[in-house]
Chains A and B, each alone.
Chain A
Amino acid sequence: MFCNFFRAQRLEEASKLSSWKQWRQSTQRTLRRLRDEAQEWLSSLKLWRADIHQIEGMFGTGILSYFSFLRFLVMLNLIIFLLMFSFVMLPIIIMFTTNVILFNIWNPFMELYPSSARRGLVIFHEHITDLLSGGGFLEQTYLFYGFYQVNQIHFPNIKYNLALAYLMTTIAYLFLSLIWIVKRSALGFKRNLVQDEDRFQSFCNKIFAGWDFCITNENAASLKRSSLLYELRTDLEEERIKQKIADRTRKEKCRIYLIRFILNIFVIGVLAGCFYSIYVATIFSQEHVEYLMYEYLPSIVITLANFITPLLFSVIINFEDYSPAFEIRFTLMRCVFMRLTSIGVLLFSLWSQITHCKDETCICGYNHELYSCWETRVGQEMYKLTVFDFIIIVAVTIFVEFPRKLIVRHCDCGLAKWWGQQEFSIPQNVLEIVYGQTICWIGTFYCPMLPAICTIKYFFIFYIKKVSLLKNCRPATRPFRASSSNFFFLAVLLIGLALACLPVSVSVAQINCSQACGPFVGYNTSWEVLPTAVSELPTGVRSVIEALSSEAFAVSFFVVTCLAMFYVIALAGAHKKVINQLREQLVLVSLVK
């Protein structure tokens, strides 16, 4: 009926148009069709399209968003690695292979720092130890900052400033990540702005837009039905609790606030304890490098802390008497804070070790006796964190999730019933991979091949998680809304990026770079490369750049941005007023009818 109507309309229109317009219309139609087919072909090239379809059909859109988030991170890491490779590693590879270069400035101040590379007959297991700890033979490879000891490369026609390229690539990859994440989250953010709070229109959304029409599997359908039922009941419960909160007496309010205060102090105490133990573990592992176990001590402590604290938080929140929706969000916020701050504490303890010498102030600005190449050491720590994170994910899947499924299925004891079948907890899994990505962002400056390692790591994690999901898990009884979950993932990722920018910028701008290794030998800090390079530019360009970076420009830019923001906020407020007025008018009009 719809199709016939359109066809008749088109024939009628066609008879009225001239042949030129007809030709133009048919060309437009062909072009549009070509574009659709091209888009279809491009989307068929997308990585893991079939796997993600399968997961969507069986587990719904919430878990689907986790896997497409994982795919996004694989692509992001790949692009970052390609950036680093083409601007930093490739020139050095060309330099080594062509060997035609007459002048490459190996810095005269540089002494080869005592490398821990082993000489002579090397026992096999020491290679494995080196692989796991990032030391030994790995220190002399492209993996770490210390290997890039070239300041500038003189190719036959051009002079390539490797130090400048290294710095600019770092800034570029952070900036690129920011733009890409913001672009992806723009859609979700707009929607979240439209809804004032999470409770807006929640019943209508569930009834009219709640059923996923893509479901074809009987199990998935009954699960969706029970999850919708659960959601509706939860919402009715929320309404009831809202009513109860409004009816609370003064005395009850005081009691609840007191309990919340005490519990928050307790949470802060737990967090402080965890951070202190991470600090102690890091210092201990820096001082004792004999055993592999000591080297991995900070990673072990961080993982333990991140395992225990979510359980603790989910127990504590029950006593604080919030509404269910707020409970989930608040626990999540606490877990995010814990995860990302633990990396910060690790870096802080490293920084305190690096910049403190036996006497009061360090001559070189860093402890050059213990850390002749401190960037490589930081890179090694990040490398170890990444490797350990991957090992833990694999180990937990193999040694906890599979046995759990076997126990629950075959054993009929009380423990099995209480433990229950594994649920794929989306928030915790997302936090895990955001944690890994934050480490990657921080570590890429010190360990240029880390993005490649992370790409491979996330590639394998996709398959591991998929297999575990299909074999061990049942869908979550507490459904995670797809729309807000995309926004949640990207918001947490942005927090991770902001956190990653901080240590990188502090170490680039404040801490003196090591004089025994790396491309920045001869400069005080890594940042100095930029002003030096700018001062070598022709006068016109230089004055433009200096004008852009002057305070006058920065202040006026800030003022203009603030004005624009106030204007947009005022506009939004005015629109809201108009909408309310129109709503009242609608009611009046219908009353008059």
Chain B
Amino acid sequence: MGNKQTTFTDEQLEAFQDCTFFTRKEILRLHARFRELAPHLVPLDFTNNPDVRVPPTLVVTMPELKENPFRDRIVATFSEDGLGNLSFNDFVDMFSALCELSPRELKTIYAFKIYDFNRDDFICEDDLQQTLNKLTKGELTAEEVTLVCQKVIEEADLDGDRKLSFSDFQNMISKAPDFLSNFHIRI
């Protein structure tokens, strides 16, 4: 079955298998899903590495991402141009980093990037407020939002600068028991 496909060369598949957590079958399946998003854009034959990017508006319609409050941030984090346009490599990277086999360290790195809305390598109170509003769809009152953000900074900020650096975040996530089981997308 694997020898008859013409989407990728064997070297490409080997390379994909080595730097992601997917098997050959899964990578071919991912290609089919990628193509499904924009059949007129994405070619069937990837053997000559075409430079095809799918815009974020199409990617967030995927059933795996549709209900996720952070879908825009996830797509933006994994896109190379930072605007949300995903090439196939970005697409595979995204699902590989978020899959079940992906280790805690990798997920922590990407979680930090996703929650850092203003991309200043710190999760400040403003980022926290945006995260909370996306999570609850604006159902909390402003006073409750401020209170919650203050508590979060109190709990996780170790060096006292009123914002979370990557090491604060990493330390906090290592103690969060649900992180690994919740922060994964099944595809």
Q: Point out residues on A near B: beta carbons under 8 Å.
A: 1-4, 6-7, 10, 29, 33, 36-37, 40, 61, 191, 194-195, 200-201, 203-205, 207-218, 220-221, 225, 228-229, 232-233, 236, 239, 481-484, 583, 586-587, 589-591
Interface of B is mostly: helix
**B93: A residues at CB distance < 8 A:** 1-3
- What distance in Å separates the Cβ of A57 from its nearest Cβ neighbour in chain B? 9
- The answer to whether B20 has its CB under 8 Å from any CB of chain A is yes
**B172: A residues at CB distance < 8 A:** 201, 204, 208
- The answer to whether B63 has its CB under 8 Å from any CB of chain A is yes
Q: A216 contacts B175, CB within 8 Å?
A: no
- What distance in Å separates the Cβ of A34 from its nearest Cβ neighbour in chain B? 11
**B186: A residues at CB distance < 8 A:** 214
Which one of B90, B128, B144 lies within 8 Å of A207 (CB-CB)?
Answer: B128
Which residues of chain B from 50 to 87 have a CB within 8 Å of any chain A CB? 63-64, 66-70, 78, 80
Number of A-B contacts (CB under 8 A): 147
Report the bound CA distance from A210 to B183 in whole Å: 9
Closest to A212 in B: B182
Q: B178 contacts A214, CB within 8 Å?
A: no
List 10 additional contacts besides A1-B78, A210-B135; criterion CB under 8 Å. Answer: A1-B93, A10-B15, A61-B182, A205-B177, A205-B179, A210-B182, A220-B67, A225-B139, A229-B136, A232-B136
Counting from the closest, the 3 A-B pairs by CB-CB distance are A6-B19, A483-B177, A221-B67
Report the bound CA distance from A364 to B111 in whole Å: 71
Which one of A40, A209, A216 lies within 8 Å of B176 (CB-CB)?
Answer: A209
Q: B158 contacts A36, CB within 8 Å?
A: no
**B142: A residues at CB distance < 8 A:** none
Q: B160 contacts A590, CB within 8 Å?
A: yes
Report the bound CA distance from A591 to B159 in whole Å: 8
Q: B155 contacts A204, CB within 8 Å?
A: yes
Closest to B180 in A: A209
- The answer to whether B44 has its CB under 8 Å from any CB of chain A is no
Question: A-facing mask of B156-186, CB < 8 A → 1, else 0?
Answer: 1011110000000100110111110111111
**A229: B residues at CB distance < 8 A:** 136, 139-140
Q: A3 contacts B20, CB within 8 Å?
A: yes
**A36: B residues at CB distance < 8 A:** 23, 101
- What distance in Å separates the Cβ of B43 from its nearest Cβ neighbour in chain A? 19
If the complex has contacts A2-B19, A6-B19, are A209 and B64 also in contact, measured as CB distance less than 8 A? Answer: no
Report the bound CA distance from A194 to B96 in whole Å: 29
- B-side interface residues, number (CB < 8 Å): 59
- The answer to whether B98 has its CB under 8 Å from any CB of chain A is yes
**A586: B residues at CB distance < 8 A:** 158-159
Question: What are 14 A-B contacts with C-beta separation under 8 Å?
Answer: A2-B19, A3-B16, A61-B178, A209-B182, A209-B183, A211-B70, A211-B135, A213-B98, A225-B137, A233-B144, A481-B178, A583-B158, A587-B159, A590-B161
Report the bound CA distance from A443 to B111 in whole Å: 50
Report the bound CA distance from A14 to B29 in whole Å: 29
Q: B111 contacts A208, CB within 8 Å?
A: yes
Report the bound CA distance from A195 to B175 in whole Å: 7
If the complex has contacts A29-B18, A36-B23, A214-B185, are A208 and B173 also in contact, measured as CB distance less than 8 A? Answer: yes
Which one of A29, A33, A233, A591 lies within 8 Å of B23 (CB-CB)?
Answer: A33
- Interface stretch, picked from B1-9, B31-39, B145-153, is B145-153
If the complex has contacts A213-B98, A215-B67, are A201 and B80 also in contact, measured as CB distance less than 8 A? Answer: no
**B131: A residues at CB distance < 8 A:** 207-208
Report the bound CA distance from A33 to B111 in whole Å: 27
Closest to A226 in B: B139
**A236: B residues at CB distance < 8 A:** 144, 147-148
If the complex has contacts A7-B19, A236-B144, are A209 and B135 also in contact, measured as CB distance less than 8 A? Answer: no
**B148: A residues at CB distance < 8 A:** 203, 207, 232, 236
Q: B159 contacts A218, CB within 8 Å?
A: no
Report the bound CA distance from A495 to B6 in whole Å: 58
Q: B111 contacts A216, CB within 8 Å?
A: no
Report the bound CA distance from A159 to B186 in whole Å: 56
Report the bound CA distance from A10 to B11 in whole Å: 13
**B152: A residues at CB distance < 8 A:** 203-204, 207
Q: A10 contacts B89, CB within 8 Å?
A: no
**B136: A residues at CB distance < 8 A:** 225, 228-229, 232
- The answer to whether B17 has its CB under 8 Å from any CB of chain A is yes
Which one of A7, A201, A587 lies within 8 Å of B156 (CB-CB)?
Answer: A201
Q: A211 contacts B68, CB within 8 Å?
A: yes
- What distance in Å separates the Cβ of B66 from its nearest Cβ neighbour in chain A? 7
- What distance in Å separates the Cβ of A235 from its nearest Cβ neighbour in chain B? 8
**A583: B residues at CB distance < 8 A:** 158
- The answer to whether B92 has its CB under 8 Å from any CB of chain A is yes
Report the bound CA distance from A320 to B155 in whole Å: 30
- The answer to whether B97 has its CB under 8 Å from any CB of chain A is yes
Residue among A7, A37, A209, A210 with max Cβ neighbours from chain B (10 Å) = A209
Residue among A36, A213, A220 with max Cβ neighbours from chain B (10 Å) = A213
Report the bound CA distance from A1 to B140 in whole Å: 37
Question: A-facing mask of B79-116, CB < 8 A → 1, else 0?
Answer: 01000000001101100111001000000000100010
Q: B18 contacts A6, CB within 8 Å?
A: yes
- What distance in Å separates the Cβ of A357 from its nearest Cβ neighbour in chain B? 56
- What distance in Å separates the Cβ of B21 from its nearest Cβ neighbour in chain A? 9
Report the bound CA distance from A366 to B67 in whole Å: 67
- What distance in Å separates the Cβ of B142 from its nearest Cβ neighbour in chain A? 13
Report the bound CA distance from A205 to B111 in whole Å: 13
Question: A-facing mask of B125-140, CB < 8 A → 1, else 0?
Answer: 0001001100111011
- What distance in Å separates the Cβ of B94 from its nearest Cβ neighbour in chain A? 9
Report the bound CA distance from A217 to B148 in whole Å: 28
Closest to B109 in A: A2
Q: B155 contacts A214, CB within 8 Å?
A: no
- What distance in Å separates the Cβ of A159 from its nearest Cβ neighbour in chain B? 53
Closest to B160 in A: A587
Q: B139 contacts A216, CB within 8 Å?
A: no
Report the bound CA distance from A215 to B92 in whole Å: 20
**B160: A residues at CB distance < 8 A:** 587, 590-591
- What distance in Å separates the Cβ of B110 from its nearest Cβ neighbour in chain A? 9
**B151: A residues at CB distance < 8 A:** 203, 239
- What distance in Å separates the Cβ of A46 from its nearest Cβ neighbour in chain B? 14
**B23: A residues at CB distance < 8 A:** 33, 36-37, 40
- What distance in Å separates the Cβ of B18 from its nearest Cβ neighbour in chain A? 6
Report the bound CA distance from A37 to B25 in whole Å: 11
Which one of B128, B140, B159, B173 lies within 8 Å of A209 (CB-CB)?
Answer: B173
